[in-house]
Amino acid sequence: MPGLEDLYREIILDHYRTPRNRGELESPPAIETRGHNPLCGDEITLYLLVDGEGDDAIVSDVKIGGQGCSISQSSASMMTQAVIGKPVSQAYALIRRFKTMMGIEGYDEQPGDADVAMGDLEALQGVVKFPVRIKCAVLGWNTLAEALDRAGV
Amino acid sequence: MAFDLDAVRKEFPILSRQIDGSPLVYLDSGNTSQKPRRVIDAMTDFLENSYAPINRSSYRLAGEATEAFEAGRRAVARLVNASSPDEIIFTKNATESMNLIARSWGGANLGEGDVVLLTHMEHHANIVPWQMLRDERGIEIRWVPLTADGQLDLTDLDRLLDGAKVFSFTAMSNVLGTIPPVAKLCAAAHDAGALAVVDACQYVPHNATDVQAWGADLVAFSSHKMCGPSGIGMLWGRLELLDAMPPFLGGGNMIDTVTLDGYTTAPVPAKFEAGTPPIVEAVGLRAAVEFLEDLDMSDIRQHEMDLTRYALDTLNGRFGDEITIYGPDDVAVRGGVLSFAFRDLHPHDVSQVLDERNVCVRAGHHCAKPLMQVLGVQSTTRASFYLYNGTDDVDALADALAGATDIFGF
Ligand SMILES: Cc1ncc(COP(=O)(O)O)c(C=O)c1O
């Protein structure tokens, strides 16, 4: 059986204890999107600011509110660090890569996706061995995807 | 005969299972209970020797199967002291029983502005069917609030019941363990001219139940929480009331006759049992009822009261301010359900750490999100006991909790 150390890696606990980019952004202009996990009741509110249009659109800021377990909180925290300042197209690529890493089907990687750095996010790989926690890990990502879709750049 | 925990445990094959070399500490019976050997054997034996359609075919085997199915109904009627087996309707689960009540009785009797009174400690099964009616036809839903220690606050009950047509409440909260004064609440409902509906899903498995002494009108409960198989639920109702209620689902078995122009309904219970019922499950349920009867429901309740007292004292004693256990402290008015907050840890993380030691608990909102709002939490960790749990399980829970801080370091 996979041990707890596969799940609760130090970097994950660090993001859980000291979440990055927590808070709110004024909306509008930010896009406020809520996500929740109907199974356990975890809730997340994501604020997204996008600058520019079309291919030049950049994720200029993301903030996270709400409550959740160590996995959903740390995953969202790492996600903000990974996408802030990146082109929107790369944010989508990260979402595809992350979901694929979580073993979720239907997010076929597209050309260039493999070049997008996962960084600390690799630490969440161990979650796959705990299938009930996958939903926790992807909560923030689903919420980001919805926010990006709503930004519609 | 005194309650013999070791003997009881031997009846449950799953309790001898080990995961990673250590025993199972199953503390999730509020969710669903484990099954004793006799239930498993009764179902296997029936499938191997007597399985056939019921109520439809005239050969001997079908007669035998029908008889076995109806014996399940009689056993349930006896367990809850129904005045006739015809008052027991088999459904898929307690949720379907609640939907049957809202659709059939509510559909025939509730309209715009009519009031249904619920409480803040209801399971979604006793909330959503009424909210669906509200959205469709504009009924009003009122709520009985809770006291600080998680009991029903009955101060304003008369005012809340004024003009109400239904009072529907749980006989034991699946989150707080709270056991309200059911007979008193049924009487109050009747005094106000309201129907008394009881969600007894958590109550029947753990307490001697007498629906007539309660004076209830309709009572919903479920097999899978009382040592029986999943896939079969129960609705008890007073016969005259069930007779007067329109059918819920339409199809085979529930009709008297069908023509090109229409249908007439069969008498109860068949009227509410459309289609092929859970046949094997009824056979297993009968074995579960007999198992509980042999042990004696009041001995089971006493065992669980003692265990709950031990658990409250052990957890509060060991963890003090670091643990918040919701619900009443008096075990006379609470069942063996302990929902708690532990340090600053999220319930998901708590249950994950406990699982490492095979301690099985539930983390989440327990299908009672409105109650979570009232408690001001998003979710809780819940340990729930049944007849096969003992103080060793509580100690295992406490030891595993003590280990949780090491990992998270706060
Ligand atoms: C109080 C209460 N009511 C209703 C239900 C629903 O029961 P079932 O799962 O049989 O539909 C449950 C079970 O979770 C419960 O605890």
Q: What is the CATH number of the domain that holds B326?
A: 3.90.1150.10
CB contact under 8 A, B378 and A136: no
* Domain match, B88 and B75 both: yes
B128: closest CA of chain A, how far (Å) = 15
Q: Which of B272, B293, B314 is the last residue of a domain?
A: B293
**Count of A–B CB contacts within 8 Å?**
52
In degrees rounded to 5, what are phi and psi of residue A22? -85, 145
CB-based contact B282:B74 (threshold 8 Å) = no
Q: List residues of A whose CB lies inside 8 A of any B CB.
A: 1, 3-4, 7-8, 13, 16-17, 39-43, 67-71, 130, 133, 136
Poorest-pLDDT segment among A24-28, A141-145, B285-289: A24-28
Q: Which atom of ligand 1 is nearest to the CA of B95?
A: 11
User: Does residue B18 belong to any structural domain of this protein?
Assistant: yes
Are B404 and B310 within one domain?
yes
The pick from B201, B204, B230 for probing ligand 1's pocket by mutation, whose C-beta has the most ligand atoms within 8 angstroms, reads B201
Residue B201 within a domain? yes
Check residues A1 and B273 and name the one with the higher pLDDT.
B273
Q: Which residues, including other chains, have CB under 8 Å from residue A95's CB and lie 6 or more apart?
A: A107, A141, A144, A145, A148
pLDDT of residue B407: 77
Task: Establish if B360 touches chain A: CB-CB under 8 angstroms.
Answer: no
Number of structural domains (chain B) is 2
**Cβ–Cβ contact B408 with A under 8 A:** yes
What is the span of the domain harbouring residue A123?
A: 2-151
What stretches of B252-322 show up as alpha helix (H) in DSSP? Answer: 279-295, 297-319
Final residue of a structural domain among B293, B315, B330: B293
Domain of A108, CATH number, reads 3.90.1010.10
Considering the domain architecture, whether residues B226 and B129 belong to the same structural domain is answered as yes
Residue B36 lies in a domain: no
pLDDT confidence of residue B1: 55
Cβ contact B357:B396 at 8 Å:
yes
Tell me, what's the pLDDT at B403? Answer: 86
**Subunit contact B348:A17, Cβ cutoff 8 A:** no
Instruction: Identify the segments of chain B with pLDDT beneath 70.
Output: 1, 409-410
Test site for ligand 1: of B123, B204, B334, most ligand atoms within 8 A of the Cβ = B123
Say yes or no: B94 and B82 in one domain.
yes
Strands (DSSP E) found in B29-176: 88-91, 115-119, 140-144, 164-170
Is the ipTM beyond the 0.85 threshold? Answer: no
State the pLDDT confidence band at A74, using cuts at 50, 70 and 90.
very high
Q: Do B243 and B310 lie in a common domain?
A: no
Catalytic residues of B: 367
Residue identifier of the C-alpha nearest atom 7 of ligand 1 = B94
Helix (H, G, I), strand (E, B) or coil at B68: helix
Min Cα separation A69/chain B (Å): 5
For residue B51, give the CATH number of its domain: 3.40.640.10
Give chain B's radius of gyration (CA, Å): 22
Indicate if B354 and B241 belong to the same structural domain: no
With contacts defined as CB-CB under 8 Å, which chain B residues touch A2?
Answer: none
What residues are in contact with ligand 1 under a 6 Å CB criterion? Answer: B 93-95, 123, 125, 170, 174, 199, 201-202, 222, 233, 367
Instruction: Give the closest residue (by CA) to ligand 1 atom 12.
Output: B201
CA-to-CA distance for B296 and B12, rounded, in angstroms? 17
State phi, psi for B25 to the nearest 5 degrees: -115, 90
CA B279 to each of CA B60, B231, B276: distance values in angstroms, whole numbers, following the listed order: 16, 10, 8
Q: Which residue of B has its CA nearest to A127?
A: B352
Regarding whether B24 and B66 lie in a shared domain, the answer is no
Enter the tokens of residue A85. Answer: 């300042």
Q: Are residues B275 and B375 both part of a single domain?
A: no
Closest residue to B378, CB basis, from A39, A42, A133: A42
Mention every residue, 6+ apart, whose C-beta is less than 8 A from residue B228: B35, B39, B281, B284, B285, B287, B288, B289
Residues B351-372 have pLDDT tens digits of 999 999 999 999 999 999 999 9
B410 touches chain A (CB under 8 A): yes
Q: What pairs with residue B258 in β-bridges?
A: B263
Shortest Cα distance from A131 to chain B (angstroms)?
12
- Do B160 and B287 fall into the same domain? yes
pLDDT, position A118: 83
Mean pLDDT for A39-58 is 88
Contact at CB, A8 and B363, closer than 8 angstroms: no
In this structure, the answer to whether residues B144 and B243 fall within a common structural domain is yes
Nearest CA-CA partner of B29 in B176, B224, B204: B224
DSSP string, B160-211: HHTTEEEEEEESS-TTT-B---HHHHHHHHHHTT-EEEEE-TTTTTTS---H
If one counts the domains in chain A, the total is 1
**Chain B nearest C-alpha distance from A5 (Å):** 9
List the 266-325 stretch of B: residues with Cβ below 8 A of A.
none
Give dist(CA B339, CA B329) in Å, integer. Answer: 12
What is the domain extent for residue B215?
41-293
Which range is most confident: A66-75, A97-106, B5-14? B5-14
User: Do B356 and A68 make contact, defined as CB atoms within 8 angstroms?
Assistant: no
Nearest residue to A150 (alpha-carbon basis) of A27, A57, A66, A32: A32
Does B314 lie in the same domain as B273? no
Assign A92 a pLDDT band (cuts: 50, 70, 90). Answer: very high
From B293, B323, B344, the end of a domain falls on B293
- Which pLDDT band holds residue A132 (cuts at 50, 70, 90)? confident
Say what the pLDDT of residue A113 is.
Answer: 79
A70 vs B364: CB contact, 8 Å cut-off?
no
pTM to 2 decimals?
0.92
Query: Of the candidates A8, A39, A130, which has its C-beta nearest B407's C-beta?
Result: A8
| B35 inside domain | no
B201 shares its domain with B113? yes
